[in-house]
Amino acid sequence: MLQIKPILAALKRHKAGTILIAMQIALTLAIVCNALFIIQQRVERLSRPTGMDENNVLAIQNRWVSVDGKDTGPLIKADVQALRQTPGVQDAFATNSFPLRGGGWSTGVNLVPKNEGKPAAQTTLYFVDDHALPVYGAQLIAGRNFTPDEVITADPKDIKSTPQVIVSKALADKLYPKGDALGKQLYLGGKDVPSSTIIGIVARLQVPWSGTWADDFNDNAMLLPVQLTSNYTIYLIRAKPGQLADVIKSAPATLLKTSRMRVISGDRAVRTYEQVRGDAYKNDRGMAILMGVICVILLAITAAGIVGLTSFWVGQRRKQIGVRRALGATKRDILSYFLTENLMIGVAGVVIGVGLAIGMNLWMVSQFEMARLSIAYVLVGVVALLLLGQAAVLAPAMRAAKVPPVEATRSV
């Protein structure tokens, strides 16, 4: 550390190189911090639990042809019966949507009947029957499941509320923060819409959307015991363990055998839950991978730049190094001289870099609805870059340490 003065003197003679390395470190820090932060945010999003047991689940999107929406009730019942009897199928039900599907219903919920103002909570609605909980594999933590006779058949445009509902714990806690939601009432509309009683609470159930706009009510879900008569029906199927691969083939075949008046086509018509999850978070995963690749290449390029410039300095100063060695400096002294020099440039670089990183994040927050950069990422980035600088400078510094004292006597 006693070498700081001579180092400063030497750096003054190499202003341009010093500034360039410091600048590169600063810019790299700014980009790497923000990229790491984006990666962390995306990974956090795509590892959010749905509340389901996602193994062995299959989703089929079915569209009726040549049938009026109102008349699909018996057809859907027949489908569900046939699916439940298909070998390899443990259970199945018909619904309007499911977690991570991409599209679904959302609505406001209140503790009193009202139409105006902000609702007490926002929630998604899943229209299901009494087989939904076992198919989800959702954990019922209070109350009970629907009974078969509570399930009504209705047109989507007529349905306003049902006497019984099951809600997710997140929604229950939002409406009744004291944790006494079971058995209480909630309202899905104004005075003309009858109230609903919470008969059960599930530990967790995610909404159908994976976009940031639904983050505020990500775990607010409500199950209503309704068999919707509609041209568009989704079947959610749980296969017996190990039999999913067979069910992927047999379930659509079963449906076509029951009736050919339907369309099950397109790349999203038959999906395992693994595919559903992959589709829902495709952008998030891709963004995380892209940022990871950029970080790695960027760090490699910065390291290479430091190696290049330091090698040049070592080459330029062979004579001075030889003089120092001749005057009694050890190899260690030379090594630590270059390491300290790099550390000083690195510190200057990261100080500027921290400012740039925060500035860049603030700008992105204003442009892209991103979250504020947490200081932990900046610290991780600072340590990583200082270590990277030291590692990059090691090889040229060791070469410098090997310069023999006799170099002092040579002219060029």
Partner 1 sequence: MSGMFVHNLRLGARSLRKNPVLTALMVMAIGFGVAASMITYAVFRAVSGDPIPQKSSQLFVPLIDNRGPQYNLEGEPPNALTYTDAVALMKAHRAKRQTVLYQVGLSVMPQQANRLPFKAVGYATLADFFPMFDVPFQYGGAWNPADDEARSAVVVIGRKLNQKLFGGANSVGREIVLDDQPYRIVGVTDDWDPKPRFFDMFSGNAYADPSEVYIPFHYAVEHGIDTYGNNNCGSDGKRGIGREGWLRGECVWISPWVELDSAADVAAYRQYLTSYAQDMRSAGRFDWAPNVRLRDVNDWLDYCHAVPPESRISLVIAMGFFAICLVNTIGLLLAKFMRRSSEIGVRRALGASRADIYRQFLAEASMVGVAGGVLGVLLTGIGMFGVGLVFQPQIARLAHLDLSLVALSLLVAVFATVVAAFYPTWRAAQVQPAWQLKSN
Binding footprint of partner 1 on the chain (CB under 8 A): 16-17, 20-21, 23-24, 27-28, 30-31, 34-35, 38, 63, 65-66, 69, 107-108, 115-117, 119, 155, 157-158, 189-190, 193, 231, 256, 260-263, 265-266, 282-283, 285-287, 289-291, 294, 297-298, 301-302, 304-305, 308-309, 311-312, 315-316, 360, 364, 367-370, 411-412
Residue among 166 and 309 whose Cβ is closer to partner 1: 309
Backbone angles phi and psi of 345, in degrees to 5: -65, -40
Q: How far, in Å, CA of 95 to CA of 102, rounded?
A: 14
Q: How far, in Å, CA of 53 to CA of 273, rounded?
A: 10
| Rounded least distance, CB 259 to partner 1, Å | 11
Residue among 155 and 407 whose Cβ is closer to partner 1: 155
For the record, the structure tokens of 193 come out as 């819409």
* Three-class HEC string of 305-328: HHHHHHHHHHHHCHHHHHHHHHCC
Residue among 165 and 280 whose Cβ is closer to partner 1: 280
CB 236 within 8 A of CB 129: no
Give the residue among 393, 371, 390, 394 at the shortest CA–CA distance from 382. Answer: 390
Q: How far, in Å, CA of 55 to CA of 44, rounded?
A: 20
CB atoms within 10 A of CB 411: 4
Residue among 201 and 314 whose Cβ is closer to partner 1: 314
- On the 0-12 / 13-18 / 19+ scale of CB atoms within 10 A, 323 is middle
Backbone angles phi and psi of 323, in degrees to 5: -60, -45
| Rounded least distance, CB 285 to partner 1, Å | 8
| Rounded least distance, CB 100 to partner 1, Å | 15
The secondary structure of residue 374, as a DSSP letter, is P
Query: Is residue 94 classed as helix, strand or coil in its secondary structure?
Result: strand
Residue among 182 and 344 whose Cβ is closer to partner 1: 344
Give the residue among 94, 86, 375, 366 at the shortest CA–CA distance from 230. Answer: 94
Q: How far, in Å, CA of 186 to CA of 180, rounded?
A: 13
Backbone angles phi and psi of 327, in degrees to 5: -85, 5
Residue among 85 and 265 whose Cβ is closer to partner 1: 265
H/E stretch holding 223 reads: strand 221-228
| Rounded least distance, CB 144 to partner 1, Å | 30
H/E stretch holding 366 reads: helix 331-368
CB 208 within 8 A of CB 99: yes
Rg of the chain in Å (alpha carbons) = 32
Residue among 63 and 399 whose Cβ is closer to partner 1: 63
| Rounded least distance, CB 85 to partner 1, Å | 23
Residue among 53 and 279 whose Cβ is closer to partner 1: 279
Residue among 88 and 353 whose Cβ is closer to partner 1: 353
Residue among 90 and 212 whose Cβ is closer to partner 1: 212
Ramachandran bin of 161, using left for φ above 0, alpha for ψ from -120 to 50, beta for the remaining angles = beta
| Rounded least distance, CB 297 to partner 1, Å | 5
Residue among 120 and 167 whose Cβ is closer to partner 1: 120
